[in-house]
């Protein structure tokens, strides 16, 4: 027996996409999306272990605390093999490979034109065969140290993480994904091994292919590969969440660094423990539509700020949601960050009095369909959307139905509830 | 509409519409959206910054949609039509572009259609901008000048890209490769509504113009739908400057500059005396790939992984200027060690001491990269256009075949042409 439970089919006629999902006996979620006619094939192997996972216990045991940046450090070290780097074998197979760590997960991926199945073999095997030594762990600290410094010199990155530090008092989402040179200094092979055996069990992972390949050949290969190693029963891992109080940690975080253009972000914070799946996705979508109505280029604010020379076309708005917290982030480059914050605060107050025009919602609905059609051309977008929503127990295609369902009243209520002065924090970078 | 010729892999059906104006249509049934790219080509030079203002002012309002907000609203009504301006370079040419993407009619609900209205809208944006007394509005021009000035100043915020550009400027002090596609702040000083209006008219009337469309193209009359985009083009196209000769390296020079930050950026420029059309061009691409550019390349496996000197390290070969640039983000204290290590890796390739495996992986990686381009209409359009501008065969298949014919011996021969020109370091002030 290779598969357990019922096969799940996720599909959407508007987007013209279909994902078939099965659960491997090891507990791994395995999914396939066929993209007819595409020469490029893409696959990823993702674990629900990201930068926010800083505390856990197993089988009700004592709490284990992890240093900041360890999920990202582990991502780097997984490529190390006993004979050669995993990248080299991908190159030998004519594929290009990469990996990234987010707040909630770590993803290993490759894309290729030919030789999809040998690449898939290599992907699953290298992620399931760690090779940590004292020497290679120490060596990595120098490399990641340079990566941390590269981001420290990137004002766009700094203004965002400073905003998170301003918004959150306790929550680990505020910490830099790569940690700091100090927090990674104490990482050892034993600690990496502990994280790998805890969080890289197949039951915590998703293997996905987006490719013009035969579906059953893929499932047969994936089933075989995941059965190669018996990693035992899934550990009973309890991730310990950090309770986050209402209200921002700081009203303003201001960093000085040498920049060509000053940067500014305004963020509003949400606390919503316990919501998941469709409810979480609905909240995300309603917030995004609301933010677009208020701050988007077709809204009342953008052109006014642009004409006053307070913003440029880098001005944007987004919403980032997690299972327990969320925040919006609005801003970009500005000639006068203080004035921009002042004007936005005033104008948002006015917009809350006037409310949202129902015709704006209709236009946003239409526009969002076009955006989704564009986005689902991309193999990476399909994979990111699938893994991101599955990590939150959602359905990646449900967004289309939700778009049709959401009402002006709902968007209006979200405006009144979210964009409130008490939840606002600002981040500024100037020379 | 005169002669048509079709290229094999990039798959564009090309029609010469007028002297210096061509339409390139590619049928693409796999995707959910159509892409349209309208590009005008200029010589790189002091005019570059002024050329950037043209698409910026066009996107501020048209005759029927005379403000930024109304342009945005119309885009949203047209099923979220994405429209934007961009400025790029291809060797000594500057490319000014309006890009658009919108859903295929077949993907829309019911009997909804968008193609014809989308093209009509884009046509109006290009050819019928919102003018006041026959000129772009004073407020629009001054606001876009100010925006563009800040874009130029903002280039500093990407340290790696800034360091690379500074290295090129210093390496090629009197060559056209030194210009950045955004141009300089000084050249914005004399811009007026009258001058931007004249620049717009001159651009649409006589700058060489390329329109690339990729989409389902179900309608037989697609070319007719797109033809109005050429409505402003006259019967005489501007002549672009002759190709500038590629230079060799002189004495090795060193330059260090400082900034307030944490990580140093080392950039080394090399002259290869090799470019498009040279029999060793593809061999130089592979030589550069064996040196850096891929995770199996020597800079990654030796300088990063073995010596732990950096996180990002790369090499890049430009067939127009014949320059190869190597860059690394490093600790300022290790600059000499990193520089020596980089030069050693290049010497290894010159001596032919790279493995057959490294050579074959680089061939395969390039072949795979080129093949993947065929899934991306925007990359295909860019490949096609840039090829035409730099004198390269505009078929990806042709380039793949030439890459496949590269031998170890020719890589060594190409690598021997690599001469160090400038060693540039952008380092944190603390390291002084």
pLDDT in tens, A328-371: 999 999 999 999 999 999 999 999 999 999 999 999 999 999 99
pLDDT in tens, A244-288: 999 999 999 999 999 999 999 999 999 998 888 899 999 999 999
Q: SS3 for A230?
A: coil
Q: What is the rounded CA–CA span in Å between residue B318 and residue B92? A: 12
Judging contacts by C-beta atoms under 8 Å, the chain A residues touching residue B156 are 258-260
Mean pLDDT of B138-165: 95
Please tell me the total number of residues recorded for chain A in this structure. Answer: 431
Q: What is the rounded CA–CA span in Å between residue A357 and residue A400? A: 21
Mean pLDDT of B9-16: 81
pLDDT at residue B11 is higher than 60: yes
Q: What is the rounded CA–CA span in Å between residue A394 and residue B215? A: 32
pLDDT band at B220 (very low <50, low <70, confident <90, very high): confident
Chain A interface test: which of B263, B293, B330, B359 (most A C-beta within 10 Å): B263
Mean pLDDT of A86-114: 96
pLDDT in tens, B336-388: 999 999 999 999 999 999 999 999 999 999 999 999 999 999 999 999 999 99
Judging contacts by C-beta atoms under 8 Å, the chain A residues touching residue B104 are 373
Q: Establish whether A75 is a catalytic residue.
A: yes
Task: Please measure the distance between the N-terminal and C-terminal CA atoms of chain A and give it in whole angstroms.
Answer: 63
In this predicted structure, what is the pLDDT of residue B394?
82
pLDDT at residue B44 is higher than 80: yes
What percent of chain A has a predicted confidence (pLDDT) above 90? 96
Characterise B279 by phi-psi region: left (phi > 0), alpha (psi -120 to 50), beta (else).
alpha
CATH code for the part of the protein at B4-230: 3.30.830.10
Interchain CB distance below 8 Å, B69 and A299: yes
Domains annotated on chain A, with CATH: 3-239 (3.30.830.10), 252-430 (3.30.830.10)
Which among A278, A239, A87, A206 has a CA at the least distance from the CA of B294?
A87
pLDDT at residue B431 is higher than 50: no
Q: What is the rounded CA–CA span in Å between residue A258 and residue A280? A: 39
pLDDT at residue A324 is higher than 90: yes
Instruction: Tell the residue number behind the tokens 């921002």, with chain if given.
Output: A248
Q: What is the rounded CA–CA span in Å between residue B386 and residue A142? A: 39
Mean pLDDT of B55-66: 98
CB B44 within 8 A of CB B112: no
What percent of chain B has a predicted confidence (pLDDT) above 90? 92
Give me the phi and psi of B241, to 5 degrees please.
-65, 155
In this predicted structure, what is the pLDDT of residue B5?
41
pLDDT in tens, B282-297: 999 999 999 999 999 9
Give me the phi and psi of A3, to 5 degrees please.
-115, 150
Angle at A19 between CA A209 and CA A391, to 5 degrees: 80
B 299-318 → A contacts, CB under 8 A: 300-301, 304-305, 308-312
Interchain CB distance below 8 Å, B364 and A377: no
Give CA separation, A216 vs A122, A211, A219, A226, A365, in Å.
19, 12, 5, 15, 37
pLDDT at residue B144 is higher than 60: yes
Neighbours of B201 (CB within 10 A): 13
In this predicted structure, what is the pLDDT of residue B217?
76
Mean pLDDT of A406-426: 96
Interchain CB distance below 8 Å, B32 and A15: yes
In this predicted structure, what is the pLDDT of residue B6?
38
Q: Delimit the CATH 3.30.830.10 region(s) of chain B.
A: 4-230, 253-431
Q: What is the rounded CA–CA span in Å between residue A318 and residue B52? A: 28
In this predicted structure, what is the pLDDT of residue B10?
65
CB A113 within 8 A of CB A38: no
- Rounded (10°) angle between helices B48-58 and B138-154: 120
Mean pLDDT of A293-313: 94
pLDDT band at A409 (very low <50, low <70, confident <90, very high): very high
Sheet containing strand A325-334, edge to edge, reads A252-256, A424-430, A262-271, A325-334, A316-321
Joined together, the tokens standing for residue B12 give: 């564009």
CATH architecture classification, B253-431: 2-Layer Sandwich (3.30)
B 206-225 → A contacts, CB under 8 A: none
Q: What is the rounded CA–CA span in Å between residue B9 and residue A141? A: 45
pLDDT at residue B1 is higher than 70: no
Mean pLDDT of A400-410: 93
Greater confidence (B373 vs B220) lies with B373
* Lowest mean pLDDT across B113-117, B157-161, B427-431: B427-431
| Closest-CA distance of chain A to residue B302, Å | 12
Which residues, at least 6 apart from A341, have a Cβ–Cβ distance to it below 8 Å?
A264, A266, A426, A428
Exposure pattern of B287-317 as b/e (b: 16+ CB <10 Å)?
bbbbbbbbbbbbbbbbbbbeebbbbbbbbeb
pLDDT in tens, B291-320: 999 999 999 999 999 999 999 999 999 999
Name the active-site residue from A17, A75, A244, A412: A75
Half-sphere exposure of B166 (CA within 13 A, CB side): 23
Interchain CB distance below 8 Å, B80 and A367: yes
Instruction: Tell the residue number behind the tokens 């050579």, with chain if given.
Output: B359
CB A231 within 8 A of CB A387: no
Can you list the positions of beta strands (E) in B104-215? 131-132, 135-136, 209-215
The string of DSSP codes covering A329-380 is: EEEEEES-HHHHHHHHHHHHHHHHHH---HHHHHHHHHHHHHHHHHHTT-HH
Judging contacts by C-beta atoms under 8 Å, the chain A residues touching residue B79 are 366-367, 369-370, 373
In this predicted structure, what is the pLDDT of residue A273?
87
State chain A's maximal CA–CA distance in angstroms.
Answer: 66
Joined together, the tokens standing for residue A376 give: 């689902």
Alpha helix ranges (H) inside B6-137:
48-58, 68-77, 115-127
In this predicted structure, what is the pLDDT of residue A373?
96
CB B393 within 8 A of CB A137: no
Give CA separation, B393 vs A346, A350, B8, B383, B405, in Å.
57, 58, 11, 10, 16
Interchain CB distance below 8 Å, A373 and B32: yes
Q: SS3 for B298?
A: helix
Q: SS3 for A21?
A: strand
Give me the phi and psi of B111, to 5 degrees please.
-100, 15
Q: SS3 for A388?
A: helix
In this predicted structure, what is the pLDDT of residue B412?
98
Mean pLDDT of A8-23: 96
Complex ipTM: 0.92
- Rounded (10°) angle between helices A300-307 and B138-154: 80
């Amino acid at each position: 027996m290779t598969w357990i439970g019922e096969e799940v089919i996720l599909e959407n006629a508007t987007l013209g996409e279909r994902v078939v999902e099965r659960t491997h006996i090891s507990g791994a979620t395995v999914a396939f999306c066929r993209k007819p006619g595409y020469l490029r094939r893409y696959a990823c192997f993702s674990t629900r272990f990201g930068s926010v996972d800083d505390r856990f216990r197993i089988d009700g045991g004592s709490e284990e605390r992890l240093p900041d940046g360890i999920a990202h450090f582990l991502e780097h070290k997984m490529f190390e093999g006993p004979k050669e780097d995993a990248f080299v074998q991908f190159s030998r197979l004519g594929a290009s490979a990469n990996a990234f760590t987010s707040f909630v997960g770590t993803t290993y991926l490759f894309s290729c034109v030919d030789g999809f199945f040998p690449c898939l073999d290599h992907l699953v095997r290298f992620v399931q065969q760690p090779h940590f030594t004292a020497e290679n762990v120490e060596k990595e600290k120098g490399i990641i140290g340079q990566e941390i410094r590269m981001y420290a010199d990137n004002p766009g990155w700094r203004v965002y993480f400073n905003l998170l530090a301003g918004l959150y008092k306790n929550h680990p989402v505020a910490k830099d994904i790569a940690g700091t040179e100090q927090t990674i200094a104490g990482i050892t092979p034993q600690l990496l091994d502990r994280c790998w055996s805890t969080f890289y069990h197949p039951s915590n992972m998703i293997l996905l292919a987006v490719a013009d390949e035969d579906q059953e050949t893929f499932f047969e290969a994936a089933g075989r590969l995941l059965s190669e190693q018996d990693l035992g029963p899934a550990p009973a891992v309890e991730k310990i969440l950090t309770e986050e109080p209402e209200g921002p940690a700081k009203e303003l975080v201001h960093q000085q660094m040498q920049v060509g253009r000053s940067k500014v972000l305004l963020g509003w914070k949400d606390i919503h423990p316990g919501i998941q799946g469709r409810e979480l996705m609905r909240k995300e979508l309603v917030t995004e539509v609301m933010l677009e109505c208020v701050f988007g280029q077709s809204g009342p604010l953008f052109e006014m700020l642009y004409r006053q020379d307070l913003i440029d076309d880098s001005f944007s708005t987004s919403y980032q949601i997690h299972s327990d917290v969320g925040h919006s982030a609005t801003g970009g480059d500005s000639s006068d960050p203080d004035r921009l914050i002042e004007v936005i605060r005033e104008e948002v107050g006015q917009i809350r009095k006037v409310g949202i025009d129902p015709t704006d919602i209709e236009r946003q609905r239409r526009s969002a369909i076009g955006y989704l059609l564009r986005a689902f051309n991309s193999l990476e977008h399909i994979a990111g959307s699938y893994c991101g929503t599955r990590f939150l127990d959602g359905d990646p295609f449900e967004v289309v139905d939700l778009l049709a369902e959401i009402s002006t009243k709902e968007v209006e209520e979200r405006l009144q509830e979210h964009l409130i002065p008490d939840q606002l924090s600002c981040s500024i970078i100037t020379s | 509409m005169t002669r048509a010729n079709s290229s094999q892999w990039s798959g564009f059906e090309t029609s010469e519409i007028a002297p210096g104006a061509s339409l390139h249509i590619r049928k693409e049934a796999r995707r959910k959206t159509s892409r349209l790219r309208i590009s005008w080509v200029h010589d790189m030079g002091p005019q570059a910054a002024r050329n950037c203002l043209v698409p910026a002012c066009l996107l501020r309002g048209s005759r029927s949609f005379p403000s930024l907000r109304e342009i945005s609203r119309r885009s949203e009504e047209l099923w979220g039509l994405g429209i934007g301006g961009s400025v790029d370079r291809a060797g000594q040419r500057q490319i000014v572009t309006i890009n658009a993407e919108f859903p295929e009619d077949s993907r829309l609900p019911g009997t909804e259609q968008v193609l014809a209205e989308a093209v009509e809208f884009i046509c109006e944006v290009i050819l019928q901008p919102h003018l006041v007394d026959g000129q772009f509005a004073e407020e629009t021009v001054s606001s876009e000048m100010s925006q563009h000035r800040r874009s130029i100043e903002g280039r500093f915020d990407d340290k790696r890209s800034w360091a690379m550009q500074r290295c090129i400027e210093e390496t090629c002090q009197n060559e056209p490769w030194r210009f950045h596609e955004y141009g300089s702040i000084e050249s914005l000083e004399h811009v007026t509504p009258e001058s931007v209006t004249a620049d717009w008219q001159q651009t649409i009337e006589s700058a060489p113009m390329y329109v690339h469309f990729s989409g389902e193209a179900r309608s037989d009359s697609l070319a007719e739908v797109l033809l109005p985009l050429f409505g402003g083009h006259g019967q005489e196209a501007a002549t672009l400057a002759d190709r500038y000769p590629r230079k060799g390296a002189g004495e090795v020079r060193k330059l260090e500059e400082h900034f307030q930050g944490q990580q140093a950026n080392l950039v080394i420029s090399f002259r290869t005396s090799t470019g498009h059309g040279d029999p060793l061009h593809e061999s130089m691409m592979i030589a550069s790939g064996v040196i850096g550019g891929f995770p199996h390349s020597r800079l990654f496996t030796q300088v990063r992984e073995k010596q732990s000197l950096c996180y990002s390290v790369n090499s890049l070969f430009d067939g127009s200027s014949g320059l190869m640039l190597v860059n690394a983000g490093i600790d300022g204290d290790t600059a000499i060690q990193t520089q020596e290590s980089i030069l050693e890796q290049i010497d290894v390739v010159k001596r032919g001491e790279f493995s057959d495996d490294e050579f074959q992986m680089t061939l395969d990686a390039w072949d795979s990269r080129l093949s993947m381009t065929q899934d991306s209409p925007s990359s295909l359009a860019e490949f096609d256009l840039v090829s035409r501008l730099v004198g390269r065969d505009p078929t990806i298949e042709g380039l793949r075949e030439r890459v496949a014919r590269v031998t170890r011996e020719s890589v060594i021969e190409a690598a021997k042409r690599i001469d160090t020109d400038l060693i540039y370091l952008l380092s944190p002030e603390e390291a002084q």
